[in-house]
Structure 1
Amino acid sequence: MRVHDPEAHALRRGLGVLDLACAALLVVMVLWYSFRFVSFSHYPEEDAAMLLRYSEHVAQGQGVVWNVGEKPVDGATDFLFMIVVGCLIRAGFSVTHAAQETALVCHTLTVLGIFLGTRALSGGRRAAAAVSAAYLAVGPGLRYAAASYGTPLTALLALATWLVAMRVEVSPPQGAQDWARLLGACTALLGMARPEGALLGLFCFATVVLLRDRGERNDVLKAFCSTFVPLGLVCFTWHWSCFGDPLPNPFYRKAGGAPHWYALARAFLNIASLGGVFLAVLAAGPLFRRTRRASLVALVPVAAFGAIWVLVSDETNYFMRFRYPVLPLILVSAVPVGENLAEGVLRRLRGRGRVLRATLAAAVVSVALGVVAVQERHSARIEPRRIGLYDVALRLRPLSSRSYALATTEAGLLPLYSRWRAIDAWGLNDSWIAHHGGITEQYLDRYRPEVIMFHAYFTADGVEESSDTRERGLGPSWSAMVETLKRYAEQRGYVQAAVFARSTDAHYYYVRPDFPESEKVIGAIRATRYRWDGELLRPGPTPPGRGPG
């Protein structure tokens, strides 16, 4: 049977008044739930704050720069989100509200897209489509929005790309070419949202185009390339000419020139955790002839997307946010597969009594509601906690006009809210460090930073490659960076202003003593009520027998 045969797909199903009413109820549910159970009053999460520094500079007309007056650097891998937030800041929004409201709108639109797309394109039943949309609605997307991440925007574009890819699969030849052109544009846009987004779009296209008749594939491929290639080439050329590198700066820091097997394993575990029972339904699909194709069409791009994470370390992967964009694909695709599997079971039970069938139907409803409830409970644990980096930044902010410099391993909240010139010692936002394998004392001498702050992972015997640093992909490189910063500070006479230590790690603050406000800065740091994951810490010297070096 040809893939564009109307009988081969439920594409012919239209949307009715009840569908629009359900869509409206879903919007109300998302807004009610978000304002009732999700806190949007918190400042950005540490890694999200890095991107917002770029957005502030874009809003000020300074360009995509880490430090005003320096050359551009693409440390904001969520490029499209950075630009949108920058425009909203320019329009008068605060930096936090601009990020959170953009993400909230995108999350709401994704919920709508899952429901309406499932109904209109895959022909899913209204109740099943609503459960699928509700699963996403109460999932981690709202927590990403509250933490000021751009992940919901990437997820929205991933969903749009997948829905267009589904049209390419089922449309007649001329229609498939038109949809392929749109798919090329969507893929380019998804690549602007995040670099791996372009790969996800290509995986989606490759999967559906292979399902076309052999004689139609070339025409569909040409149509796709007619939009994707010029748009992608323009973006790629502009990026290279503007930033001096073909890829975003974090890639050079996180790639490391070797496979990241731990990140690969984590990627598939994350996808399994996000997809839950919906992914299990898709995984069961290939076992049955009637659902084999529909499930494989979705599983192939999802699996390919998971495999690419072997290329980079897993740092800054806040609650699985790097894998989240494939969740809408899973949810839209699982509904028709699940319904087909359920229909097969019901046919086998036909004639065995209404009570048994009613019991099975009740069990399905109970499981569906339970799945949504478990998703909500799991996501509710993702809550940002107060951290002293923000409080120290506010104490440093009055000196932002002095052009003082800050070297730090925590390049989010401190640089964003202090507005000091900042050296990202890890190199995600510093092209020199990213390309030279790490920070050096000679490089620090270029800035002679007034404040040095680093996050040390240590045991009773000193810094080592702890399981935390190893699993996040940091490892010996992080320890070497900490050693360099500490040695630089001590050999040049910096004052250790404070150490805020927990049982396994600590934040160290050093201040250069020869600038006018040095005593003021030291006193401000020591006077900070410093919280870390909700725990109030007191400043002190290096704990006995512990510490870097």
Structure 2
Amino acid sequence: MDIQSHTRRDVIFFVAVAAIFLFAIKIRLGVEIPDDAAFFLRYAENMAHGEFWVWNPGEKPIWGASAPFFALLLALPIRLGVEPTVALVAGSVALSVVSLAYTSTLLLRRLDWVAATAFVVFFALDSSAMFYAGNGLETPLTFALMTLALDCILNRRGDVAVGISAGLLMIHKLDLIPLGALLIIAHALQNQRLRIPVRSLVIAAIIALAWYLFAWIYFGAPVPNSFLTKALHQEDMPQIIGTGWFSKLVLWGTGHWIVTAFAAFGILRCGRQRASLTIFALGTLVTHVIAYTAKHPFEPYDWYSMPSLYTLFLLGSVGVAEIANAFSRWQRRPAAFPAAILVALMLLLTVGIQVKPQMARAQDYKLFLAYQERDRTDAGKWVAEHTPPSFRVLTMWGNPAYFSHRYVYDASFLNRKYESAPLLEKYHPEIVILENAPGTTPMTPYNYSPDYVPVKIFDRTFADLGNYFYTVYARKDVVGQISGVVFPVKTSCKSLVDCQRYLPPAPASAQVPTGFTMAQTESPGICSIDMLNNRGYVGVPTVSTRDTISLTGWAIDAKNVRLPDAVFIRLESSNGKSYFANAKLGLYRPDIPEGLKLPSTLADAGYEARTNLSSLTPGQYGISVIVQSGNQGFVCAAKQTIMVSQ
């Protein structure tokens, strides 16, 4: 094939693959942007107005969001008049599509069609990679710089290109500093002999040192403020992930284990010709897995895994190509058709293993943006619309900070120097936007200070998905200056009891449930406790005071032919002391109305009560179901007992 034919083939392949990636990213986009993306957007907008890396206009620069030049890329289209969120999303998608399509074309040109095809399948299938490729975090620039590094390796670029690429990696993010070093090492071994690339080292060092020296002088520290906060002041944050989070996310979660298996085969058969590629890709993977296993964040920042996924998919693609080559050699003839069938089977197997978990992950991301991030965004937009521009806001998240377009005290301290004194007491801002505290509901939000009153609640998430909502508090003396305030504050809950059914597991309480009507009548036979911890309720089971238990069953007000307004589980000890746990209603139980010959409108008669037993003393307890329906209540004699041990 001549050079012109090669070029034509590459252009056609690039365009086709770009279309695939564009579609794969588009179907993962959400209705809002992730919270940390709004941090970049706030900086970019201030840059577009002439203030470089400034969180609050007029203040000293602060290096908050950790990728220094991603916001700078966004500032240019904003300066040219593009709407900021459009610039963020469209710019992210375009940069990711071009980078990944070029990577695929590089593999086609320098390796073979098998590696290129496998890379496209692995990446386009992966919901995390495609989500972060287009939703506004620094991932697109990460992909672009890693593509530049790969181009240096596969096209055997000179010392100058390698030095520039390594230097840019080192300043893009702190965790990419090892990648810059790995690129130089890979380049040193490029011609199958060790050669110290002095020019590459010098150029990379000049670029990296120039930025970090500038940062030290300009920001007052050579590393991001967000890094210092996470490293020094988040040790006491509740850890919701463990040491295995990163390796699961990258190496075996959502079906990645099969790509890891392909990658292992490729590494074992890398040979001298691909040593540089293997050093760069495997070194990145190993370095990041070790680093984020030893020191993981307190919550799952999935985008931290993007460099590792990029290199895993590279190695996996090489592995698929090596399996195809080994198969062809085993046949002892260059028969393309059988090898193509084998490759197709391997990729179809990968799709079959991953499609369901990847679809589930994509749905999780979309739901998060459609509910929790929309609540945050709406809270910020409401403040922008209903409060004077001079008002100051205290919040912890990017979306309310950006969309409020106000002076913001960043209580996360990612974009503000850490202060040990409580910001609310110290600065007394006019507006506070905070998430709910544990055990609160939209109708009973936590009162952070007697000087503040809730003026608006955003609880779409609470009503549909779980116990999250966001409250806008106003200082009492400025409420008169705010428009759109209606008391009592409206929420998604129909009543206090309705709010309680969404609460997460809480200790069974000796206090009679708030709002429960105690004018009870015995009315057995219209409720049941069917299961304990997803197993049939049999005999007298034993549980520990250290346990959280789940009781599921059903309840109907048969007399009035309606679903109950509230359900509580009562645990009564032998000495007559009672403990109560609230239940979540609305579980689908179509068998109940069918079996009782009642209308099918009662199909949502199921309930689940999740509670821990830490407040109980050891002993035997009788369990009954208390049902609230209208202005009456009744006790359903479920007649189950349970033994509680220490």
> Smaller-chain TM-score range?
0.7 to 0.9
Q: Does 1:322 align with 2:322?
A: no
Q: Which residue of 1 aligns with 2:329?
A: 347
Q: Does 1:371 align with 2:329?
A: no
Counterpart residue identity of residue 308, structure 1? A
Aligned counterparts of 1:524 and 1:201: Cα–Cα separation in 2? 57
Q: Which residue of 2 aligns with 1:277?
A: 258
Q: Which residue of 2 aligns with 1:479?
A: none
Residue 305 (structure 1) aligned to one of 271, 280, 288: 288
8 Å CA contact 1:496–1:509 kept in 2: the answer is: yes
| CA offset digits 1:480-530 (Å, max 9, x no partner) | xxxxx978x42x522244665575455344321012645646539935779
Shift of 1:246: 1.1
| CA offset digits 1:393-423 (Å, max 9, x no partner) | 22211356532111123x2111111112111
Residue 83 (structure 2) aligned to one of 94, 100, 105: 94
Shift of 1:90: 0.6
Aligned counterparts of 2:125 and 2:58: Cα–Cα separation in 1? 42
8 Å CA contact 2:39–2:65 kept in 1: the answer is: yes
8 Å CA contact 1:184–1:224 kept in 2: the answer is: yes
Q: Does 1:494 align with 2:452?
A: yes
Shift of 1:57: 0.9
Q: Does 1:448 align with 2:428?
A: yes
Q: Which residue of 1 aligns with 2:215?
A: 239
Aligned counterparts of 1:25 and 1:147: Cα–Cα separation in 2? 22
Shift of 1:208: 4.8
| CA offset digits 1:80-135 (Å, max 9, x no partner) | 110111111111111111011111111111222222211233x22x2441331243
Shift of 1:244: 0.7
Aligned counterparts of 1:154 and 1:337: Cα–Cα separation in 2? 23
8 Å CA contact 1:388–1:528 kept in 2: the answer is: no
- Mark the CA change 1:408 to 1:394 in structure 2 (over 3 Å): closer, same or farther: same
| CA offset digits 1:184-243 (Å, max 9, x no partner) | 2112222343232233222333355357666x533x1x1212211111111111111111
> What is the identity percentage for the equivalent residue pairs of Structure 1 and Structure 2?
20
8 Å CA contact 2:433–2:472 kept in 1: the answer is: yes
Aligned counterparts of 1:372 and 1:421: Cα–Cα separation in 2? 48
* DSSP 3-state at the match of 1:510: strand
Aligned counterparts of 1:407 and 1:119: Cα–Cα separation in 2? 51
- Mark the CA change 1:283 to 1:539 in structure 2 (over 3 Å): closer, same or farther: closer
Residue 395 (structure 1) aligned to one of 368, 382, 390: 382
Q: Which residue of 1 aligns with 2:412?
A: 426
Give 1 or 2: higher helix fraction. Answer: 1
Residue 195 (structure 2) aligned to one of 196, 203, 217: 217
Q: Aligned ranges for residues 86-235 of structure 1 at < 5 Å?
A: 86-121=75-110, 123-124=111-112, 126-140=113-127, 141-167=129-155, 179-209=158-188, 216-218=194-196, 220=197, 222-235=198-211
Aligned counterparts of 1:13 and 1:287: Cα–Cα separation in 2? 35
8 Å CA contact 1:511–1:522 kept in 2: the answer is: no
Residue 370 (structure 2) aligned to one of 375, 385, 400: 385
- Mark the CA change 1:31 to 1:212 in structure 2 (over 3 Å): closer, same or farther: closer
Shift of 1:73: 0.9
Shift of 1:450: 1.3
After TM superposition, the structure 1 stretch with the greater mean CA deviation from structure 2, 377-386 or 86-95, is: 377-386
* DSSP 3-state at the match of 2:82: coil
Aligned residues: 476
Q: Which runs of 5+ in 2 are unaligned?
A: 494-498, 504-512, 515-580, 583-646
- Mark the CA change 1:80 to 1:486 in structure 2 (over 3 Å): closer, same or farther: same
For the pair shown, the structure with the greater C-alpha radius of gyration is 2
Aligned counterparts of 1:127 and 1:344: Cα–Cα separation in 2? 13
Residue 253 (structure 1) aligned to one of 217, 229, 233: 229
Q: Which residue of 2 aligns with 1:511?
A: 474
Shift of 1:375: 5.5
* DSSP 3-state at the match of 2:330: helix
Counterpart residue identity of residue 203, structure 2? T
Aligned counterparts of 1:538 and 1:390: Cα–Cα separation in 2? 26
| CA offset digits 1:163-183 (Å, max 9, x no partner) | 31345xxx5xxxxxx623312
Q: Aligned ranges for residues 468-483 of structure 1 at < 5 Å?
A: none
Q: Which residue of 2 aligns with 1:23?
A: 14
8 Å CA contact 2:170–2:177 kept in 1: the answer is: yes
Aligned counterparts of 2:114 and 2:159: Cα–Cα separation in 1? 30
Shift of 1:333: 3.9
Q: Which residue of 2 aligns with 1:481?
A: none
Q: C-alpha root-mean-square deviation of aligned residues, in Å?
A: 4.0
Q: Does 1:78 align with 2:67?
A: yes
8 Å CA contact 1:302–1:326 kept in 2: the answer is: yes
Q: Which residue of 1 aligns with 2:39?
A: 50
* DSSP 3-state at the match of 2:413: coil
- Mark the CA change 1:14 to 1:164 in structure 2 (over 3 Å): closer, same or farther: farther
Aligned counterparts of 2:176 and 2:53: Cα–Cα separation in 1? 20
Give 1 or 2: higher strand fraction. Answer: 2
8 Å CA contact 2:437–2:446 kept in 1: the answer is: no
8 Å CA contact 1:250–1:427 kept in 2: the answer is: yes
Residue 53 (structure 2) aligned to one of 37, 54, 64: 64
Higher relative contact order (CA 8 A, sep 6+): 1
- Mark the CA change 1:366 to 1:213 in structure 2 (over 3 Å): closer, same or farther: closer
* DSSP 3-state at the match of 2:409: strand
Counterpart residue identity of residue 80, structure 1? F
Aligned counterparts of 1:93 and 1:32: Cα–Cα separation in 2? 23
8 Å CA contact 1:263–1:313 kept in 2: the answer is: yes
- Mark the CA change 1:526 to 1:38 in structure 2 (over 3 Å): closer, same or farther: same
Q: Which residue of 2 aligns with 1:3?
A: none
Shift of 1:290: 5.0
Counterpart residue identity of residue 246, structure 1? P
| CA offset digits 1:293-349 (Å, max 9, x no partner) | 56565322221132233575435755x211112333333344344323332234334
Counterpart residue identity of residue 160, structure 2? R
* DSSP 3-state at the match of 1:423: strand
| CA offset digits 1:377-401 (Å, max 9, x no partner) | 6154332313222222222113565
After TM superposition, the structure 1 stretch with the greater mean CA deviation from structure 2, 412-421 or 328-337, is: 328-337
